[in-house]
Amino acid sequence: MEYLQEFPLVFFTLLVQMAVGMVLVGKCVLGNEADRALREGVRRQNVAALLLFAVAVIISFVHLGTPLHAPFTLLHVTQSWLSREILMIGLMGLALLWLVVVGRKNHALEGEKKAMIVAGLCGIALLFVMSCVYNQATMPGWRNWGVFTAFLASMCLLGGSWHGVVLSLRKEGAPVRALGPCLVWAILGLVLMAVSLPLAIPARAAFVNPVSRLLPPACIAWSHGLHALASGLGVVLLALAAARGMQGKGFRPALTVPAFLLIVLGEGFGRLVFYLSYSRLGM
């Protein structure tokens, strides 16, 4: 049952990171594209990002002892990273709402692009603040840039692979120019993951707490390996799909959907290991 206590945080962090990734990748997919159908598709994904973000916030309340007390934490915004996280969640929600409202206006393409940039920057700032919440003295694997890098990796992987799925399902077919951003963001996520994983395991065995038995130290390294394998295979499938699309053979959901599911599985498993590793390695 101890494992189940971590699931709200797993879903909360991954859904927030996916919402941010959807906006940033959507901005790159849109580019200067004059295709009206593509613009409408990106706008629908912005709405989906807002809904996803709202679901994440609701899930986060499950982890709070008394959710109604959350607004009072803003009184400590100058001292507490948790208070700053709640403040940034509110700002990010407003930025996404503004983006959706602007997108509903006719002939507001330039304003919508600016709103996407603002929402994306707010999202990255939110991820940074979220990572600072985990900067705990009791967890050597969290006292570095690895947490922020891992959060950025999830953002890139989930956002890029999701837009790949959406483009592959278009009846009109996916524009070749739009395939590149999906793949580039996913590869960037894989690179960031490769940077973050070594930082997640403390070098000193003295930090291991022998009292907790949630996740043995040996399992942590193997678990991170499985996480990287699943997400890496997902990026490989996405690359194969993009290569077929660029060659005119069709950008098929038969490849993009399994790619997305593998990445979701890998990131979800990796995030669960992230939280369980605290119980094992905390001093």
pLDDT, one tens digit per residue, over 96-130 is 999 999 988 766 677 888 899 999 999 999 999 99
Q: 158, 150 in Cβ contact below 8 A? A: no
In b/e form, how buried is each residue of 131-158, taking b as 16+ CB within 10 angstroms? beebeeeebbbbebebbbbbbbbbbbbb
The predicted pLDDT at position 2 comes to: 55
Please tell me the total number of residues recorded for the chain in this structure.
283
Tell me how far CA of residue 146 lies from CA of 150, 152, 179, 211, 247, in angstroms.
6, 10, 29, 25, 37
Instruction: Give long-range contacts, CB 8 A cutoff, 24+ apart: 2-9.
Output: 2/214, 2/279, 3/214, 3/272, 3/276, 6/272, 6/275, 6/276, 7/272, 8/59, 8/60, 8/62, 8/63, 9/60, 9/63, 9/275
- Residue 73: how many other CB atoms lie within 10 Å: 16
Which residues, given as ranges, of the chain have pLDDT below 70? 1-4, 32-35, 63-76, 106-108, 136-141, 200-218, 278-283
Query: Is residue 147 a contact partner of residue 131, using CB atoms and an 8 Å limit?
Result: yes
* DSSP codes joined into one string, 11-40: HHHHHHHHHHHHHHHHHHHHTT---HHHHH
Q: Are 283 and 208 spatial neighbours (Cβ–Cβ below 8 Å)?
A: no
- Rounded Cα distance, 233 and 99, in Å: 33
pLDDT in tens, 124-177: 999 999 999 887 666 666 777 889 999 999 999 999 999 999 999 887 777 788
Query: What is the C-alpha separation between 189 and 185, in angstroms, rounded?
Result: 6
Give the whole-angstrom CA distance, residue 26 versus residue 11. 22
